[in-house]
Amino acid sequence: MDLCQLCDQHDPTGSQLCPACTTATRVRLECLPALYDGLLPFLAPSSAIGQGRSGKGGHAPLPVREDILDLRGVMVGTLEDWLSAVRQERGMRQHPARRRGVDGRLDAAVEGLLRHMPWITVSWSEAGLFAGEIRDLARDVQSIVAPAVDTVRGTRIGTCPAVHDDGGVCGAVLRLGHGETVVRCDWCSTAWPPATWAQLKAWQDEDQAAAA
Ligand SMILES: [Zn+2]
Ligand SMILES: [Zn+2]
């Protein structure tokens, strides 16, 4: 019997990964650049807070957070290692010099892996290991940038910190619906995609501190 390498369930297609795990792996890969961007506000917490809404800013910058910097490095390194393993297995020339900056390297590795997904899914004996590592990576980063998701009622994500024209804070309760990836305020319709969640949290904390 053919088992999916990731979920150990019977796979009627006889591939390395079942259709559900293939789709999930693709989606995780596609989400990684946004998750990577979502870590940015965590790098230097004090400079991320207070800018963009009031335009005042003015906090003295704290040193960059090493653990977040490391995690971003791990993301890039992991993806590049897998891409180079795939290319080697397929007898392809390794990419020459890395021309792009770190951010560009992550996008390039994701693009490359997505291009190889059909082959990985059908033929690669390492497909399960690869898919498992991508799942763990996405989960690790998500646990930092996004709150835990309540799959039944939708997760309460605090209150909307959008500032209206009159200078007042919106304050409506935000929820992330099951299966949705963007938090949308029902009251003022501001959209909060994953890349903004760290900033969202920072503003909420700021509002809470101001209210206290
Ligand atoms: Zn599976
Ligand atoms: Zn709102």
- Summarize pLDDT for 189-210 with one digit per residue, the tens: 888 887 888 888 888 888 888 8
Which residues, in sequence order, are bridge partners of residue 137?
A: none
More confident position, 177 or 189: 189
Distance 57 CA to ligand 1 centre (A): 47
- In terms of average pLDDT, the best of 90-99, 107-116, 176-185 is 107-116
Question: Is the domain of 160 the same as that of 131?
Answer: no
Which of 145, 165, 195 delimits the end of a domain? 145
Question: Is the domain of 174 the same as that of 203?
Answer: yes
Distance 148 CA to ligand 2 centre (A): 21
Ion ligand 1, residues whose Cβ is below 5 A away: 4, 6-7, 18, 21
Identify the pLDDT of residue 147: 55
Smallest-distance ligand from the CA of 174: 2
Distance 41 CA to ligand 2 centre (A): 21
Q: Is residue 4 part of a domain?
A: no
Distance 23 CA to ligand 1 centre (A): 9
Question: Is the domain of 68 the same as that of 164?
Answer: no
Q: Cα separation of 159 and 192, whole Å?
A: 12
Distance 10 CA to ligand 1 centre (A): 8
Which SS3 state, helix, strand or coil, does residue 139 take? Answer: helix
Where is 38: in which H helix or E strand?
helix 19-38
Does residue 64 surpass a pLDDT of 50? yes
Does residue 97 surpass a pLDDT of 90? no
Identify the pLDDT of residue 153: 54
Smallest-distance ligand from the CA of 7: 1
- Domains: count for the chain: 2
Q: Cα separation of 72 and 43, whole Å?
A: 10
Q: Cα separation of 44 and 202, whole Å?
A: 12
Name the pLDDT band for 78 (thresholds 50, 70, 90): very high
Distance 142 CA to ligand 1 centre (A): 21
Average pLDDT, stretch 125-152?
82
Does residue 129 surpass a pLDDT of 90? yes
Average pLDDT, stretch 124-134?
96
Smallest-distance ligand from the CA of 173: 2
Do residues 106 and 36 touch, judged by C-beta distance below 8 A? yes
Percent of the chain at pLDDT above 70? 80
DSSP letter for 94, please: P
**Residue 206, exposed/middle/buried by CB under 10 A (0-12, 13-18, 19+)?**
middle
Nearest to 197 by CA among 148, 151, 136, 133: 148
Question: Is the domain of 130 the same as that of 167?
Answer: no
Identify the pLDDT of residue 94: 74
Distance 56 CA to ligand 1 centre (A): 50
Do residues 26 and 19 touch, judged by C-beta distance below 8 A? no
Distance 204 CA to ligand 1 centre (A): 38
Q: Cα separation of 180 and 192, whole Å?
A: 11
Which of 145, 174, 193 delimits the end of a domain? 145
Which of 115, 145, 175 delimits the end of a domain? 145
- In terms of average pLDDT, the best of 4-8, 64-68, 103-107, 153-157 is 4-8
Domain that holds residue 38: 19-145
Identify the pLDDT of residue 60: 47
Name the pLDDT band for 50 (thresholds 50, 70, 90): very low
Q: Is residue 196 part of a domain?
A: yes
Q: Cα separation of 69 and 103, whole Å?
A: 12
Average pLDDT, stretch 8-16?
92
More confident position, 146 or 199: 199
Identify the pLDDT of residue 46: 44
